[in-house]
């Protein structure tokens, strides 16, 4: 089962988009230093992000469901401040409280890395609805809720970056889960039906009023 959200786009208003600078994003050291928030950084790739961003001069805040003591040691060894909380990114209350706590503890948040993710590697047949909802909850709702918690401050300060960590696995067809294991069939299906834009008329109930 593909468990990752590949292209997750946060739609914010045009005014908000204008307020968040996007130029020079390719220049790692061009952004004023402040706090980088990383979800799921107690382990793995998130911990590596924390270590690297701390080395680049960012203070680090970590939201994870497990203790992030090893990450704390790495960040502090780089001479940066560290804050973490046990936060389940699927909880609206916890993510909002975390944003408030970070705001009181560390310099202004200039970056959010939505890294927390789970990928149970179950076949489609072995995936029940509860597991499906759990994966979407962490990988998709988590990124949404953390963005909701931190975007207002970024907009207010007119500065912020959000990085949503995807996986290339979502580019593959869900063939293993559906039992299509033949490679030639796999390739044929990958070539078929690329996503296209289809201009369907909006029903009156969903049309914008202004
Ligand atoms: N490892 C890979 O090869 C790979 C490849 C592509 C994408 N990714 C993505 O990179 C990200 C990190 O992967 P990883 O391999 O380092 O995983 P990992 O399991 O080592 O780390 C994930 C972290 O997320 C935390 N977490 C899980 N559920 C959470 C929740 N509800 N709230 C807060 N934190 C939670 C875990 O405690 C853990 O510390 C994931 O989003 C994953 O899908 C990983």
Cα 40 to ligand 1 centroid, rounded to whole Å: 6
154-170 tens-digit pLDDT: 999 999 999 999 877 66
**119 CA: nearest ligand 1 atom:** 43
Residues facing 153 on adjacent strands: none
Which pLDDT value is given to residue 189? 46
Give distance in angstroms: CA of 115 to centre of ligand 1.
Answer: 6
Residue in 45, 87, 98, 99 to alter for ligand 1 test, most ligand atoms within 8 A of Cβ: 45
Phi-psi domain of 40 (left: phi exceeds 0; alpha: psi -120 through 50; beta: other): left
Ligand 1 mean position to 104 CA, how many Å?
A: 27
Give domain limits for the chain: 32-184
- Write down the pLDDT at residue 178: 38
**DSSP codes of every residue in 135-168:** HHIIIIIHHHHHHHHHHHHHHHHT--EEEE---G
Tell whether domain 32-184 is in CATH 3.50.50.60: no
pLDDT band at 8 (very low <50, low <70, confident <90, very high): very low
119 Cα to the center of ligand 1, angstroms: 8
> 139 C-alpha vs ligand 1 centroid, how far in Å?
9
Which of 1, 116, 141 should be mutated for ligand 1, with most atoms under 8 A from CB?
Answer: 116
CA 28/CA 12 separation, integer angstroms = 24
Per-residue model confidence (pLDDT) at position 206: 58
Burial of 126 (0-12, 13-18, 19+ CB in 10 A): exposed
pLDDT tier for residue 73 given thresholds of 50, 70 and 90: very high
**pLDDT per residue as tens digits for the range 89-109:** 999 999 999 999 999 999 999
For ligand 1, atom 18, which residue shows the shortest CA distance?
A: 44
- Find the residues whose C-beta lies inside 6 A of ligand 1: 4, 39-40, 42-46, 63-66, 87-90, 115-119, 138, 142, 165, 167
Please give the distance, rounded to the nearest whole angstrom, from the Cα atom of residue 89 to the centre of ligand 1: 12
């Amino acid at each position: 089962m593909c468990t990752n959200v590949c292209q997750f786009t946060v739609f914010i208003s045009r005014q908000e988009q204008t307020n968040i600078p996007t130029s020079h994003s390719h220049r790692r050291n061009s952004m004023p230093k402040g706090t980088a928030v990383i979800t799921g950084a107690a382990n793995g790739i998130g911990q590596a992000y924390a270590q690297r961003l701390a080395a680049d001069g960012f203070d680090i805040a970590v939201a994870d469901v497990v203790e992030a003591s090893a990450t704390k040691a790495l960040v502090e060894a780089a001479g940066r401040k560290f804050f973490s909380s046990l936060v389940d990114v699927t909880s609206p209350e916890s993510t909002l409280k975390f944003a408030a706590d970070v705001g009181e503890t560390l310099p202004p948040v200039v970056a959010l890395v939505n890294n927390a993710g789970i990928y149970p590697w179950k076949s489609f047949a072995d995936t029940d609805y509860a597991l499906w909802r759990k994966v979407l909850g962490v990988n998709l709702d988590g990124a949404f809720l953390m963005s909701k918690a931190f975007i207002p401050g970024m907009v207010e300060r007119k500065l912020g970056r959000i990085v949503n960590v995807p996986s290339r696995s979502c580019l593959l067809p869900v063939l293993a889960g559906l039992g299509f294991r033949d490679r030639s069939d796999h390739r044929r299906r990958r070539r078929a039906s690329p996503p296209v834009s289809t201009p369907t008329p909006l029903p009156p109930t969903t049309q914008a009023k202004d």
